[in-house]
């Protein structure tokens, strides 16, 4: 039993965190957008394009000049990150232009972004690298390396606390720590700053914001820029911060939609968003650790275990987890009424 606690549970928790991070970042990205009154089902597409841009540019930057790269060594991963964020912001601005300026249908714009992303990543990937849409395997300075926190080695042998610190808390890459920092930061922005107040207001009643003398359009664009940045981080984590070490076709695998489900589950609040995505991460971790699970009475097959996060998504979206009230003005373009 103790063995299970110290080893299996710790190991599960550790991989739950790793699986949760891209979900968490995408979920927070969606939070900014939806709190400002713009539905965003294009999280998936933005993440995918960011993952590709990150993988591709990190590969170019890390390759030696002799091989046709830019020979930037340890800086390569940062070039990749910058490219990922830039690409994601661009897509987010297309969504913003369609749904804020042109007052188009936000769901259709989001779907279009997802389709565009699925196609363009493979097309450009094949053109650049000729590896069937994949980017080359990333190594060393082309990837985010795990960070060993201070005293982790020294405390490693202290019972329970030491192993929690060493195995669970230490040893992740920078984006993981950044992700949790952003949860706290988002809470602070949302509930303690002027920008947060206005953003929450514009998602509930843009008329109130407009008559208070604040530009609805500027506010919503600002929120979508943040959405772009966070989706960029989520995508970069997938290609630059996981064992995949590079971009693979459709590597987001529906995570953008799971993040949306988590957002609803979390009722559009940042701290619950963290717990919701950690829950999804845990299910994914269980699915990948136990191929089959023997419960004594029945044996759950591996396919079922892997489907767990998706099953939970369906359960949440079907409304089985209580009433979730979305921001009231969500999905509606703002037009001054007559």
> Which residues are near other proteins by CB under 8 A?
191-198, 200-201, 204-205, 207-214, 328, 336, 338
* CA atoms of 113 and 111, how far apart (whole Å): 5
188 vs 304, beta carbon nearer other proteins? 188
203 vs 246, beta carbon nearer other proteins? 203
156 vs 328, beta carbon nearer other proteins? 328
At residue 147, the 3 state secondary structure works out as strand
> Shortest gap between Cβ of 192 and other proteins (angstroms)?
6
At residue 299, the 3 state secondary structure works out as strand
21 vs 100, beta carbon nearer other proteins? 100
* CA atoms of 97 and 82, how far apart (whole Å): 22
Phi then psi dihedrals of residue 147, to 5 deg? -110, 125
Retrieve residue 138's tokens.
């990333």
CB-based contact 244:61 (threshold 8 Å): no
> Shortest gap between Cβ of 222 and other proteins (angstroms)?
13
Q: Which residue has the tokens 């939070």?
A: 31
> Shortest gap between Cβ of 328 and other proteins (angstroms)?
7
Q: Which residue has the tokens 């949306």?
A: 260
141 vs 196, beta carbon nearer other proteins? 196
250 vs 332, beta carbon nearer other proteins? 332
Bridge partners of 294, per DSSP, are 299
> Shortest gap between Cβ of 281 and other proteins (angstroms)?
30
> Shortest gap between Cβ of 204 and other proteins (angstroms)?
5
Single out the residue of 87, 77, 94 nearest to residue 124, CA to CA: 87
Handedness of CA 148, 149, 154, 158 (dihedral sign): negative
| Burial grade of 159 (CB within 10 A; 0-12, 13-18, 19 or more) | exposed
> Shortest gap between Cβ of 78 and other proteins (angstroms)?
28
> Shortest gap between Cβ of 199 and other proteins (angstroms)?
11
Q: Residue 279: which H helix or E strand, with range?
A: helix 270-289
94 vs 199, beta carbon nearer other proteins? 199
């Amino acid at each position: 039993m103790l063995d299970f606690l110290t080893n299996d549970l710790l190991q599960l928790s550790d991989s739950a965190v790793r699986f949760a991070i891209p979900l968490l970042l995408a979920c927070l990205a969606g939070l900014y957008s939806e709190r400002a009154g713009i539905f965003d089902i294009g999280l998936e597409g933005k993440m995918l394009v960011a993952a590709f841009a990150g993988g591709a540019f990190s590969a170019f930057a890390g390759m030696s000049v002799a091989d046709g790269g830019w020979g930037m060594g340890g800086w390569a991963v940062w070039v990749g990150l910058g490219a990922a964020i830039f690409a994601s912001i661009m897509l987010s601005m297309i969504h913003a232009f369609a749904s804020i300026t042109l007052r188009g249908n936000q769901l259709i714009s989001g779907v279009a972004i997802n389709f565009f992303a699925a196609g363009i990543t493979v097309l450009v990937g094949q053109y650049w690298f000729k590896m069937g849409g994949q980017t080359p395997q990333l190594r060393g300075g082309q990837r985010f390396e795990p960070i060993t926190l201070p005293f982790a080695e020294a405390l490693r042998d202290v019972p329970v606390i030491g192993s929690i610190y060493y195995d669970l808390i230490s040893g992740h890459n920078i984006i993981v720590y950044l992700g949790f920092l952003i949860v706290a930061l988002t809470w602070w922005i949302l509930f303690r700053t002027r920008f947060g107040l206005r953003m929450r207001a514009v998602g509930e009643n843009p008329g109130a914001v407009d008559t208070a003398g604040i530009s609805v359009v500027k506010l919503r664009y600002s929120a979508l820029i943040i959405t772009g940045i966070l989706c960029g981080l989520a995508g970069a984590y997938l290609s630059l911060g996981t064992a995949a070490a590079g971009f693979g076709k459709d590597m987001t695998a529906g995570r953008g939609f799971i993040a949306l489900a988590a957002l609803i589950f979390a009722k559009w609040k940042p701290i619950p968003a963290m717990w919701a995505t950690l829950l999804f991460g845990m299910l994914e971790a269980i699915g990948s650790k136990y191929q089959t699970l023997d419960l004594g009475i029945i044996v759950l097959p591996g396919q079922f275990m892997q489907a767990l996060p998706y099953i939970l998504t369906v359960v949440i979206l079907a409304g089985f987890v209580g009433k979730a009230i979305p921001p009231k003005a969500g999905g509606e373009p703002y037009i001054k009424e007559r």
